[in-house]
């Protein structure tokens, strides 16, 4: 191949042609208050060797915020033997697809970019984190193998001045001068920083809010309008900005805000906003209605903000805003324009490259990328051994072909067992079921059925996924059961000692079978890997459940605690949970209630074929006998609570009001420094209750605070009962392969009167702060689903709807996508757990920061309760509004999202509001 070193001879390279408007001037931008600069003259030739020396001098004078810049990331010309391809002038042809290397800066929006590029490029990009490839690897892929046509650098937490935040990106931006590159947010700041610009604090952090954009008409904004009221509005997530005054001549401003104020999402649709909620009315109110003291940017900015730059001689672009956000206008067009820029660049510069592109190697690169989504990725790991590249390619191409064939067995189940886990024993499950039409209404409803069938002996070892709030079809089915047939078992998992970082995600699993025998095992690969193998080991016939209108037909039902985040990418757990980190029953017998039709179903699964149905027959007799003595669903049960002298005091918070407010201030400082966009701070309320009727408490809670994703779980051996009245779905996968998340962000109390209630609802709907919170989490969940869904399938059918419950109004969005065929149910959960509404964004950095602020384990709170059906469907909630009763103590977790617009006192009040319904239920019952 050609031998063109990136050294002093580079100034002979013809500069890349640029479209610009010579008469365009800089706007008033932040960092450059009263200066007008003419755009660069038409001749934009720069000697690259001198330019690189200037880069080094500028960068070396910058004050790194956290760490001294390591030598391998210092701006410098590329050294070594890696070379670029020859630049030929013959005309080329249009690329059928464009191959992108997407460098992930540990962000929670990267896979939104991934989804967009997959659709626009015609091929999914390859995603690598910023510390996973060495510079030698990057050069090998880009120049030896010609594996990529362009590079996109993702957003991320932190600053480009910190090597740990930006990784390999600085060297890519500096030395890959002949590769088209687009940097988004942190990537934009890195492009500026590597060429000598300063990255400074913005006059105000802006997260989850929109701005109108002006641009200079360059190619990146082709077919996109510009300026005030043009319809070009973009979402911003940033606390830092590029100081325009420090821009070198070779970096050209191409976009900036068209006004000094940021807007809420609904303000960009002003025709839909009632006049009484327009700017300047309710937005400055606090407490019940509230936003924050800072309405529309808080204090007015005196300058517009730089939103985009381009390099004068390189095909490098940066955007401060997020084109991938659900609320950004014309975002897809920007990515389409970048593809066209890439195509034009290669047509004019390297036409022979079209014949030299290595398709075989591109396929190979995709395979480890897919597998890495669902396994722990060691930092600084090299993905490919260059010397063994050919063997690596062949092995993974072989596996790809095997995985893509989709072989089926057992009349419908994808036979992945022998392929992925050949040592696992295959379990052949047979389902039998009966339906009783309209029975639920005749026997008094779900409560009476549960109490009759499972309420005896303190309801030990029972479960009830309880759709106790079914208004507006939020939920339809309830599932209940107890210790059942021969396949019943209980899984109890506890993570190993948190102080041993080598054991991250590993722990001890205890399995109790139907005969009462218990076995303990140390899981080297963690609980989720075990659960994945279990679900893959089931064989079944799809015909068995034809006619059933629900997706849970038996399988695992229980909870995953928040600490399982270490199996989903989090670095560690600072605090050890007092409760097991996961507990599940394997439910082989269950009763299902259809609240829409009032039908009742009884289901039983067994191994092999048998014509006997003793449990079905026995349960049928109990249900029919219950019919004659039915009471109504709404009748208050005769509850007997056992109390102790310790029960007289109210709940005590882990942190006082002053401490919690201080923690909010810490979160806001982290946000100001760019470490996070949103931090979901939580705490716990606790009360010693001694021995009590836990089922009675749950029945009281569901009566006072009905919820669509409520649940009762009793793990008697662990002395653990969970009384959950959650209104929030975490994630569901149905039989059609559709994933759905329904995050809640934004909560306000119900009003005392109808008029006041409607006022509170409208205040929530048009709250700038709550819209920003919700938008950030919607984009995060789009990212999480984007990791496991078909390209182009992730969508948001409902954005920022307000739903009303017994005690609160909440702002809820719905995100859906089509699951890829090569991922499993547990893969989907691993990609999204814990729910983003309980972490903030970016998720990994936010969880790390929250661990350092919160002073106790969240335990079950912030985790998920639900089921994993044996046919790979699942439905999981977010554990909020929940009383956890463990070893004589009741605990209630609560918190809220902290963003730049937060008011600390209001955040404390919102946290307390969220504990009121469960805490009041406990106090009333005692």
Question: Is the distance from CB of 610 to CB of 619 less than 8 angstroms?
Answer: no
Strands of 576-672 (E only): list them: 582-587, 589-594, 600-607, 652-653
Kindly list the distances between the CA atom of residue 859 and the CA atoms of 99, 563, 683, 841, 908, in Å, as whole numbers in the listed order: 43, 7, 11, 21, 21
CA-angle at 654, arms to 650 and 660, nearest 5°:
110
3-state class percentages of the chain: helix first, strand second, coil last, to nearest 5:
35, 25, 40
List, by residue number, the catalytic residues.
185, 322, 324
- Cβ partners under 8 Å of residue 924, min gap 6: 700, 704
d(CA 717, CA 579): 12
Residue positions counted in the chain: 926
End-to-end CA distance of the chain: 80
Task: State how far Cα 94 lies from the chain centre.
Answer: 36
Q: Look up residue 518 and give its two tokens.
A: 């218990």
CB atoms within 10 A of CB 11: 13
Task: State how far Cα 768 lies from the chain centre.
Answer: 22
**What is the SS3 string spanning 52-120?**
HHHHHHHHHCCCCCCCCCCHHHCCCCCCCCCCECCCCCCCCCCCCCCCEEEEECCCCCHHHHHHHHHHH
Kindly list the distances between the CA atom of residue 909 and the CA atoms of 182, 339, 505, 657, in Å, as whole numbers in the listed order: 42, 48, 35, 9
d(CA 215, CA 234): 12
- Cβ partners under 8 Å of residue 310, min gap 6: 18, 218, 220, 251, 252, 254, 316, 317, 318
Question: Is the distance from CB of 544 to CB of 419 less than 8 angstroms?
Answer: no
Question: Is the distance from CB of 696 to CB of 441 less than 8 angstroms?
Answer: no
d(CA 201, CA 842): 19
Q: Look up residue 408 and give its two tokens.
A: 């089926």
- For tokens 């969970």, the residue is 722
Q: Look up residue 18 and give its two tokens.
A: 């640029």
| H or E stretch at 152 | strand 150-153
**Among residues 874, 831, 10, 694, which one has the least CA distance to residue 375?**
831
Kindly list the distances between the CA atom of residue 518 and the CA atoms of 275, 513, 526, 556, 905, in Å, as whole numbers in the listed order: 65, 7, 19, 18, 49
Beta pairing partners, 684: 893
Q: How many CA atoms lie within 13 A of 632 on its CB side?
A: 4
**Among residues 192, 122, 156, which one has the least CA distance to residue 322?**
156
Beta pairing partners, 879: none
DSSP string, 739-771: EEEE-EEEEEEPPSSHHHHHHHHHHHHT-HHHH
d(CA 555, CA 589): 9
**Among residues 746, 741, 747, which one has the least CA distance to residue 796?**
741
d(CA 7, CA 373): 38
């Amino acid at each position: 191949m050609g031998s063109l070193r990136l050294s002093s001879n580079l100034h002979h390279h013809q500069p890349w042609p640029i479209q610009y408007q010579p008469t365009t001037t800089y706007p008033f931008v932040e960092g450059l208050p009263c200066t007008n600069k003419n755009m660069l003259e038409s001749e934009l030739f720069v000697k690259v060797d001198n330019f690189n020396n200037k880069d080094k001098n500028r960068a070396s004078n910058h004050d790194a915020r956290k760490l001294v810049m390591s030598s391998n990331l210092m701006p410098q010309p590329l050294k070594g033997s890696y070379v670029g391809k020859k630049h030929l002038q013959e005309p080329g042809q249009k690329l059928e697809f464009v191959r992108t290397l997407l460098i992930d800066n540990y962000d929670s929006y990267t896979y939104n970019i991934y989804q967009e590029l997959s659709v626009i490029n015609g091929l999914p990009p390859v995603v690598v984190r910023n510390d996973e490839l060495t510079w030698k690897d990057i050069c090998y892929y880009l120049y030896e193998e010609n594996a990529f046509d362009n590079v996109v650098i993702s957003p991320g937490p932190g600053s480009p001045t910190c090597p740990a935040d930006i990784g390999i990106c600085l060297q890519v931006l500096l030395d890959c001068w002949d590769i088209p590159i687009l940097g988004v947010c942190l990537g934009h700041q890195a492009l500026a920083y590597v060429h000598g610009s300063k990255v400074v604090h913005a006059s105000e952090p802006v997260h989850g809010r929109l701005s109108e954009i002006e641009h200079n008409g360059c190619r990146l904004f082709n077919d996109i309008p510009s300026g005030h009221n043009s319809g070009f509005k973009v979402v911003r997530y940033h606390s830092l900005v590029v100081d325009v005054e420090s821009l070198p001549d070779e970096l050209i401003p191409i976009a900036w805000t068209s006004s000094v104020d940021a807007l809420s999402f609904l303000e960009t649709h002003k025709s839909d906003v009632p006049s009484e909620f327009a700017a300047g009315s309710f937005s400055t109110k606090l407490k019940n209605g509230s936003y924050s003291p800072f309405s529309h940017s808080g204090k007015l900015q005196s300058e517009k903000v730089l939103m985009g730059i381009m390099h004068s001689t390189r095909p490098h672009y940066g955007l401060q805003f997020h084109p991938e956000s659900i609320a950004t206008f014309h975002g897809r067009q920007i990515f389409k324009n970048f593809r066209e820029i890439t195509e034009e660049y290669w047509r004019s510069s390297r036409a022979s490259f079209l014949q030299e592109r290595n398709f075989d190697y591109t396929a190979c690169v995709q395979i480890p990328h897919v597998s890495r989504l669902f396994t722990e990725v060691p930092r600084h790991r090299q993905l490919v051994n260059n010397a063994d590249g050919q063997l690596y390619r062949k092995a993974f191409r072989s596996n790809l072909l095997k995985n893509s064939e989709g072989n089926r067995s057992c009349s419908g189940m994808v036979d992945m067992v022998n392929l992925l886990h050949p040592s696992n024993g295959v379990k052949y499950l047979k389902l039998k079921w009966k339906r009783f039409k309209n029975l639920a209404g005749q026997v008094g409803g779900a409560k009476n059925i549960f109490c009759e069938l499972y309420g005896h002996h303190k309801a030990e070892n029972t479960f009830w996924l309880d759709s106790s709030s079914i208004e507006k079809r939020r939920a339809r089915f309830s599932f209940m059961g107890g210790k059942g047939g021969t396949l019943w078992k209980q899984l109890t998992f506890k993570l190993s000692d948190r102080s041993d970082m080598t054991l991250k995600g590993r722990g001890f699993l205890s399995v109790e079978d139907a005969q009462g025998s218990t076995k303990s095992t140390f899981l080297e690969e963690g609980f989720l890997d075990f659960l994945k193998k279990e679900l893959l080991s089931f064989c079944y016939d799809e015909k068995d459940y034809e006619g059933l209108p629900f997706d849970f037909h038996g399988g695992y039902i229980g909870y995953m605690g928040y600490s399982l985040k270490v199996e989903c990418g989090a670095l560690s757990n600072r605090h050890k949970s007092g409760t097991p980190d996961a507990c599940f029953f394997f439910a082989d017998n269950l009763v299902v209630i259809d609240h829409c039709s009032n039908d009742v179903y009884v289901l039983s699964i067994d191994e092999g074929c048998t014509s006997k149905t003793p449990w079905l027959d026995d349960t049928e007799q109990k249900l029919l006998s219950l019919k004659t003595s039915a009471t109504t669903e709404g009748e208050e049960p005769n509850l007997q609570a056992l109390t102790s002298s310790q029960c007289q005091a109210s709940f005590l918070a882990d942190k006082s009001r002053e401490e919690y407010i201080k923690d909010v201030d810490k979160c806001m400082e982290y946000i100001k420094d760019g470490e996070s966009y949103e931090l979901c701070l939580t705490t716990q309320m606790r009360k010693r209750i001694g021995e009590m009727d836990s089922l009675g408490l749950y029945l009281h809670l569901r009566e006072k605070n009905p919820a669509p994703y409520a649940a009762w779980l009793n793990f008697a051996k662990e002395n653990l009962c969970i009384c959950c009245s959650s209104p929030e779905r975490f994630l569901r996968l149905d039989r059609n392969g559709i994933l759905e998340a329904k995050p809640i962000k934004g909560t306000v109390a119900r009003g005392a009167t109808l008029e006041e209630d409607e006022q509170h609802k409208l205040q929530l709907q048009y709250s700038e702060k709550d819209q920003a919170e919700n938008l950030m989490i919607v984009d995060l969940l789009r990212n999480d689903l984007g990791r496991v869904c078909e390209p182009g399938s992730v969508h948001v059918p409902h954005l920022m709807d307000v739903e009303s419950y017994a005690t609160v109004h909440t702002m809820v969005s719905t995100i859906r996508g089509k699951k890829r065929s090569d991922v499993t149910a547990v893969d989907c959960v691993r990609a999204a757990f814990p729910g983003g509404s309980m972490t903030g964004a970016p998720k990994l950095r936010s969880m790390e920061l929250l661990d350092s602020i919160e002073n106790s384990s969240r335990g079950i709170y912030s985790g998920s309760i639900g089921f994993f059906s044996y046919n790979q469907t699942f439905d999981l909630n977010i554990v909020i509004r929940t009383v956890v009763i463990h070893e004589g103590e009741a605990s209630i977790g609560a918190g809220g999202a902290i963003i730049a617009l937060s008011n600390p006192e209001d955040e404390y009040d919102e946290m307390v509001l969220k504990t009121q319904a469960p805490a009041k239920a406990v106090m009333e019952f005692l």
